[in-house]
Each structure stands twice: as structure tokens, then as C-alpha cells.
């Protein structure tokens, strides 16, 4: 879908991208990084709206800087900003952009309707964009990005400005679009939990470089077993579990239980109950996205 090799982008003396190397495949991919990390610059290069200073970049098999019409027509894009032509209705805007992506008028009308219903704006489709809330505008942008049935959809901070409930709904919608309609989605965000919730893969960018890229499943994989934290008597719990044949080590206030026993959960539960201590944490070992992100940041 997207392949970058040593992509460099500079603004004067400032280096925004310092040699990006990444392969972004199918599914929903999160482009994660703090503000100023280079996410938006990377998206602008993928869209062909800016030229790179060095390196190779292909999108859907072609260089976006010189990509043919056929490729550019198969990309959908929802920008971060909410400034849309105020006087247009949602229908007018989405249909216009669908036509700009070469859909015949009749198809543009039909698919605009379908896309707006899909994003939950069916009843509101004839309202002027200027009268819509931020959440509704985000949905209009999403509908405009998918109305022409693109192969690749780029969503720049699609939950920006949404309240928690709207955010959950928007994330579910994006996940649904990515899984049900065969579109590859690249979602730019600086919210870890959003990426962790809906993405198949993640690319972490910091300081203009890719510091981690891979599937979330691969990222989470690590040493198997359990992590246990209790209120007190940690030493006694370690001894008790070891006495029951589990591979146990104490590590910085937590107990790491090896994967040797298939009944480890039950054994921990029984031991904690037997000791009468409070169980603060019991979860599978392995890294979270936060572990990786903070590790890379530090």
C-alpha cells in the first residue's frame, strides 16, 4: 500500500522527516506520534501535496509526486481541519468531492447518499455544514473520503474535537469501514488508546523517524505468562506459587509467572485467596502500545 525508503523532508533548516523507512500494508494502520513528530508531513507526501527532498516513496504502487490520475482517484483523504465551505450542505459537499474523484454524476449522487447514511448523517444530509457540530463535520469529512470507494483512506486526526462518546462511535465506524469494505486505512493520531483499539498495525514516528512499525499482535507478543500485583505479602505469595510448581520471579513490585502451567490463573487466584491479600493486577505478560511508545520516547 505505502512503501517509504529513506524519505527526507526539510523545511528550510528544519528536518521534518529524517529518513523514513516503512512498509504499510493492508488493514487499519495507526500513524502514531506526538505533535510535531512528522505525521502530517508524511501524510502530505503520501498525498503528493508536498515534494520530498530525498528517498523513495510509492503509494498503491506509484510515486505520489508523479502518480497518475488513476491512482490519485483511488485515495480518500479527510484533513485534520474542520474548515469546510460553510454554505454547502453535507450532500452538496460530498457529492462534489465524489465527482472530483471521477464518479459519474448519477453514481456520485447515489454513493453520497449511501456514505452519509453509513456515517450516521442520513437524516442530516441536507443541513448546511456551517450549522453542524464538530462531530458531525468529522463524519462529513469521513463520508467525503469514502464516497468514491477509494483503495486507500488517509484520516488525519479523525477524532479531534470529539467528546468521549463521539470518539468511541467514530472509532467503531472507522474500524467497520476498514474491515467490511476492503479499504486500507491510515489513521494519524496521537492517542494511544485509539490506535490500540481499532488498528491492525502501528507506525510510531518521533522526531521525523520511524521508531517502531509492525502489527499490534506482534507488538504485544513477548514473554508469555502472567503479571501479578498484590497489596502485601508478595514474598509469601511467590513462595506459595513456587511451591505449587509454577515458575515465579519477583520483579520491581510485581510477580512474573511463567507460561509453564496452563492452570496458572487458577493457581494465582487460589493462592491469593489463601493468603487473604488484595489482588491489584492479574493480566497476561506482554507489551502494551503504551509500553512500546513510552519505551521508544525515552
- Residues in contact with other proteins by the rule CB under 8 A: 40, 44, 47-50, 69, 72-73, 75, 77, 79-81, 83-85, 87, 92, 96-97, 99-104, 107, 111, 114-115, 117-118, 144, 146, 148-149, 181-182
As measured in angstroms, the least distance from the Cβ of 219 to other proteins is 30
As measured in angstroms, the least distance from the Cβ of 135 to other proteins is 18
* CA-CA-CA-CA dihedral for 85, 91, 95, 97, to nearest 10: 30
| Three cell numbers, residue 169 | 462511535
Rank residues 79 and 225 by Cβ distance to other proteins and give the closer one: 79
- Backbone φ and ψ for 104, nearest 5 degrees, come out as -60, 155
Rank residues 148 and 167 by Cβ distance to other proteins and give the closer one: 148
Cα→Cα distances 291→104, 221, 288, Å: 48, 12, 5
Residue 203's nearest CA partner among 220, 186, 221 is: 186
Rank residues 176 and 265 by Cβ distance to other proteins and give the closer one: 176
As measured in angstroms, the least distance from the Cβ of 117 to other proteins is 6
| Three cell numbers, residue 254 | 510485581
* CA-CA-CA-CA dihedral for 112, 113, 117, 123, to nearest 10: 120
Rank residues 93 and 238 by Cβ distance to other proteins and give the closer one: 93
| Three cell numbers, residue 87 | 454554505
As measured in angstroms, the least distance from the Cβ of 86 to other proteins is 8
Rank residues 95 and 167 by Cβ distance to other proteins and give the closer one: 95
What is the H or E stretch that residue 249 is in? strand 248-251
As measured in angstroms, the least distance from the Cβ of 143 to other proteins is 9
Rank residues 110 and 288 by Cβ distance to other proteins and give the closer one: 110
What is the H or E stretch that residue 213 is in? strand 209-215
DSSP 41-110: HHHHHHTTSS--SEEEEEETTB-TTT--HHHHTTEEEE-S-----TTSBHHHHHHHHHHHTT--HHHHHH
As measured in angstroms, the least distance from the Cβ of 94 to other proteins is 11
Assess contact for 231 and 280: CB atoms under 8 A.
Answer: yes
Rank residues 87 and 232 by Cβ distance to other proteins and give the closer one: 87
Rank residues 96 and 212 by Cβ distance to other proteins and give the closer one: 96
As measured in angstroms, the least distance from the Cβ of 77 to other proteins is 5
As measured in angstroms, the least distance from the Cβ of 19 to other proteins is 21
Amino acid at each position: 500500500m505505502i512503501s517509504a525508503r529513506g524519505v527526507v523532508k526539510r523545511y528550510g533548516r528544519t528536518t521534518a522527516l529524517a529518513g523514513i523507512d516503512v512498509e504499510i500494508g493492508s488493514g487499519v494502520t495507526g500513524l502514531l506520534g506526538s505533535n510535531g513528530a512528522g505525521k502530517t508531513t508524511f501524510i502530505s507526501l503520501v498525498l503528493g501535496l508536498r515534494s520530498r527532498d530525498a528517498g523513495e516513496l510509492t503509494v498503491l504502487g506509484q510515486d505520489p509526486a508523479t502518480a497518475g490520475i488513476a491512482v490519485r482517484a483511488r485515495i480518500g483523504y479527510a484533513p485534520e481541519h474542520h474548515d469546510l465551505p460553510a454554505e454547502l450542505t453535507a450532500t452538496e459537499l460530498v457529492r462534489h468531492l465524489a465527482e472530483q474523484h471521477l464518479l459519474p454524476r448519477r453514481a456520485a449522487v447515489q454513493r453520497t447518499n449511501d456514505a452519509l447514511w453509513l456515517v450516521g448523517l442520513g437524516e442530516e444530509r441536507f443541513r448546511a455544514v456551517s450549522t453542524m457540530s464538530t462531530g458531525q463535520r468529522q463524519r462529513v469529512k469521513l463520508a467525503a473520503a469514502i464516497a468514491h470507494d477509494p483503495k486507500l483512506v488517509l484520516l488525519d486526526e479523525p477524532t479531534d474535537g470529539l467528546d468521549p462518546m463521539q470518539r468511541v462511535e467514530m472509532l467503531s465506524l472507522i474500524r467497520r469501514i476498514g474491515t467490511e469494505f476492503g479499504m486500507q486505512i491510515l489513521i494519524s493520531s496521537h492517542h494511544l488508546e485509539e490506535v490500540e483499539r481499532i488498528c491492525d498495525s502501528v507506525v510510531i514516528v518521533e522526531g521525523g523517524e520511524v521508531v517502531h512499525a509492525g502489527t499490534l499482535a506482534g507488538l504485544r507478543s513477548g514473554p508469555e505468562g502472567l503479571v501479578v500485583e498484590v497489596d502485601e505479602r508478595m514474598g509469601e505469595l511467590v513462595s506459595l506459587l513456587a511451591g505449587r510448581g509454577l515458575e515465579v520471579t519477583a520483579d520491581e513490585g510485581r510477580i512474573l509467572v511463567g507460561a509453564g502451567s496452563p492452570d496458572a490463573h487458577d493457581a494465582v487466584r487460589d493462592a491469593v485467596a489463601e493468603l487473604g491479600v488484595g489482588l491489584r493486577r492479574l493480566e497476561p505478560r506482554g507489551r502494551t502500545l503504551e509500553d512500546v511508545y513510552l519505551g521508544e520516547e525515552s
